[in-house]
Amino acid sequence: MLELVVPNDKKNAWRTQRTLEPRLSALLWMGVFAALFLVVLMPQPLGILALVAVTILRLIFSVGLEPTLFLLGAFNVCNKIIFLISFVGNRGTFTRGYKAMVMDFEFLYHLIYLIICCLGVFGHVFFYSLLLFDLVYREETLLNVIKSVTRNGRSIVLTAVLALILVYLFSIVGYIFFKDDFILEVDRISNATQNSGGSLAGEFLSTGMCQGGIDENCSTNAQQEEPGIDSEDESNMERTCDSLLMCIVTVLSHGLRSGGGVGDVLRKPSKEEPLFAARVIYDLLFFFMVIIIVLNLIFGVIIDTFADLRSEKQKKEEILKTTCFICGLERDKFDNKTVTFEEHIKEEHNMWHYLYFIVLVKVKDSTEYTGPESYVAEMIKEHNLDWFPRMRAMSLVSSDSEGEQNEIRNLQEKLESTMRLVVNLSGQLTELKEQMTEQRKQKQRIGLLGHPPHLNINPQQPA
């Protein structure tokens, strides 16, 4: 905001009031009224944000940037005070003691937010830039980026300690064997600027670190030991390993930030030198052990943690989409049922209805409780969730009962048809039995009339 509306050629230019051309001013007023009209007709979050943005721009060009920032800061302070009071009242922060109050992260976050707002109003407006970190707190994806570093912080810290140990060992080796190779090119500033704005750290590192006397500069030693370099180039070169401390700082600063390790910033040795092979081994070991292994271990831990956090977030979102928050039934349980899953979570097991009921039980007088309310109030005090319908729903119970009744009805019809068939078969068997009995009687009569028993002669018996 400051960069867009503030000129850069004045010290206190941000306090000045900017003016717009008549056309732009009219266009901005039209934007304000259009956004207000949309908010009145359709009170949507995007319309409210547009109205706030256009109103802020209008205030900047109407009353000035400093009064606008003061108004916004004062409004933010009042809003945060009201929110913090309600937050403390709802959470009971002060009633739990100072230890619980200090350990409550959300309370401390909002308290620090309020302090920064007050510093922006009564101190300097650039304190408002710290409030941009609130976006990290509100956005879960950005918060996971911070958690990817802090969640496995022990592993990252231990790996960083290993890197420091390796840097220390390589610094010792460099200080003993390759001290003359630590010659870096520097960009010097003028003496007036250096005398006026030189830092204490630069004075500490520049004095007492060279092999010569206290008043001698490191660049002087570099000029004496490198006679083949021009005077202009010699003034831009500096020895950075004349003490063990400077070796550690150089290897830590330039070695870790260079893609190829510390060998990228050191002097290029000649193959005729006696320590050429040792220098090659030194550069390669630093590259493989520190750059490739240790740094990639740290990056791997951070990336794996961020991937785990993202997968956990996706899993939570998938569970919320496919599982009822109240009963825990999944979406497939409502397939081919009279009630869909969307109707179930909106009408039958709406989680906000349960929340409203819990709030009602807490604010209602205990003498006016009904039977179910007394039972639920007692369960809430005991932190017992048995009153929730776990893994069951009325719509599924009713549909199951209707299905059972239909099955019973079908079985009864089949039983009746089977009984009628059995009765018909019994009648037919009875008739068949009577017919067989009648035929047997007729055969007996015919046999008695055709062959009398006293005239029965064996044909094989002789006469």
Residue 374, pLDDT above cutoff 80 = yes
Question: CA torsion, points 103, 104, 106, 110, in degrees to nearest 10?
Answer: -80
* Backbone phi and psi for residue 327, each to the nearest 5 degrees, phi listed first: -95, -20
Residue 7, pLDDT above cutoff 60 = no
Q: Do 246 and 240 touch, CB atoms closer than 8 A? A: yes
CA–CA separation, 196 vs 7, rounded Å? 28
Q: Give the SS3 label for residue 154.
A: helix
**Least confident residue range of 36-50, 186-200, 204-218, 434-448:** 204-218
CA–CA separation, 335 vs 441, rounded Å? 69
pLDDT for res 356: 92
Residue 445 burial (CB < 10 Å; 0-12/13-18/19+)?
Answer: exposed
Residue 164, pLDDT above cutoff 70 = yes
Q: Give the SS3 label for residue 185.
A: strand
- The tens digit of pLDDT for each residue in 179-212 reads 888 888 888 777 655 555 544 445 444 444 444 4
Averaged pLDDT, 138-152: 85
Q: Which tokens belong to 399?
A: 């549909």
Q: Which tokens belong to 227?
A: 């006679």
pLDDT for res 11: 46
Task: Please tell me what DSSP assigns to residue 330.
Answer: B
pLDDT: is 118 or 190 the higher one? 118
CA–CA separation, 365 vs 344, rounded Å? 31
Residue 271 burial (CB < 10 Å; 0-12/13-18/19+)?
Answer: exposed
pLDDT for res 214: 38
CA neighbor of 78 nearest in space, from 133, 122, 117: 117
Residue 87 burial (CB < 10 Å; 0-12/13-18/19+)?
Answer: middle
pLDDT for res 434: 87
Helix 371-381 vs helix 351-363: angle between axes, to the nearest 10 degrees?
A: 90
pLDDT: is 38 or 348 the higher one? 348
CA–CA separation, 378 vs 384, rounded Å? 9
How far is C-alpha 199 from the chain's CA centre? Answer: 42
Cα torsion 179, 183, 184, 189: sign: positive
Cβ-based neighbours of 16, under 8 Å, separated by 6 or more: 7, 10, 64, 65
In order, the DSSP letters of 65-90 are HHHHHHHHHHHHHHHHHHHHHHHHHH
pLDDT for res 57: 79
Cα torsion 298, 300, 303, 307: sign: negative
pTM of the model: 0.58
Cα torsion 288, 289, 293, 294: sign: negative
How much is the CA Rg of the chain, to the nearest whole Å?
46
Average pLDDT, the chain: 79
CA–CA separation, 161 vs 298, rounded Å? 11
pLDDT for res 101: 72
Q: Do 252 and 182 touch, CB atoms closer than 8 A? A: no
Q: Do 2 and 124 touch, CB atoms closer than 8 A? A: no
Averaged pLDDT, 414-420: 88
CA–CA separation, 314 vs 321, rounded Å? 11
Q: Which tokens belong to 207?
A: 């004095």
Q: Do 106 and 87 touch, CB atoms closer than 8 A? A: yes
**Least confident residue range of 184-193, 254-263, 327-336, 343-352:** 184-193
Residue 168, pLDDT above cutoff 90 = yes
In order, the DSSP letters of 269-328 are --TTSTTHHHHHHHHHHHIIIIIIIIHHHHHHHHHHHHHHHHHHHHHHHHHHHHB-TTT-
Q: Do 188 and 236 touch, CB atoms closer than 8 A? A: yes
Which range, 88-92, 161-165, 392-396, has the best average confidence (pLDDT)?
161-165
* Backbone phi and psi for residue 210, each to the nearest 5 degrees, phi listed first: -95, 165
Residue 455, pLDDT above cutoff 60 = no
Residue 457, pLDDT above cutoff 60 = no
- The tens digit of pLDDT for each residue in 49-105 reads 777 787 887 777 777 788 888 888 888 899 889 988 888 777 766 666 677 777 778
pLDDT: is 395 or 387 the higher one? 387
Within the chain, what is the greatest distance between any pair of CA atoms? 173
pLDDT: is 44 or 251 the higher one? 251
- The tens digit of pLDDT for each residue in 247-291 reads 999 999 888 888 888 888 888 888 888 889 999 999 999 999 999
- List % helix, strand, coil for the chain (3-state, nearest 5): 75, 0, 25
